[in-house]
Copies of this chain bind each other. A is one copy, B any other.
Amino acid sequence: MWLPRRFKHCPSCGAPVEYRIPADDNRERATCTACGTAHYENPINVVGTLPVWGDGVDGQVLLCRRAIEPRHGFWTLPAGFLELGESAAEGAARETDEEAGAQIELQNLYCLMNVTRVGQIHLFYRARLLSTDFDPGPESLEVRLFHEHEIPWEELAFRTVREALQRFFEDRRLGRPFALHSTDID
């Protein structure tokens, strides 16, 4: 199990921390050797969209080619870390604007994927594209639409992106409603 030891010093007073189990707890926490404060580290949410242009099996999916590490040059759905002060849906819409400059109508929460190995939960919303005018942000080399048979499966940036796309095409092929998929990514 992946457990980061991100803290070396106490964010409250600056003294060194030790990882130990507080008296009323059952997990190691970064605990200050001076002021005694225990600091908690928790999974982070990554939020994004699966934007589609057009209906039915001819609908095309928007992907962005990454201009940053990790996975520079690989294709991804627009997504990024949820920020304080925004809802998951607001964060997903913001990332779609920042990375693709795409106009969308946000739809339902479609995938919740636990990536426990790296302490993340990935949440993808379906989205309907309102235009094909895009404006790649500084984190994207290019943005384009893909028919299902054009998806660059070998050049996708992340396993959660592959998983979301596979579920989407399968649901679409079988005429299923696009209900929430919850899954764990090893």
Q: How far is the CA of A116 from the CA of B27 in the complex (A)?
A: 27
In the complex, residue of chain B having the shortest beta-carbon distance to the beta carbon of A14: B9
Contact B116–A85 (Cβ < 8 Å): yes
Query: Chain B residues near A138 (CB, 8 Å)?
Result: 24
Q: How far is the CA of A66 from the CA of B9 in the complex (A)?
A: 33
Query: Chain B residues near A112 (CB, 8 Å)?
Result: 88, 109
Q: How far is the CA of A88 from the CA of B42 in the complex (A)?
A: 11
> With A42-B45, A179-B179 in contact, do A9 and B3 touch (Cβ < 8 Å)?
no
Query: Chain B residues near A6 (CB, 8 Å)?
Result: 11
- Please give the distance in Å from A142's CB to the nearest CB on chain B: 20
Pick the interface stretch among A52-60, A76-84, A148-156: A76-84
A residues engaging B (CB < 8 A)? 1-4, 6-17, 24, 27, 30, 39-45, 81-89, 108-109, 112, 114, 116, 119, 121, 138, 179-180, 182, 184
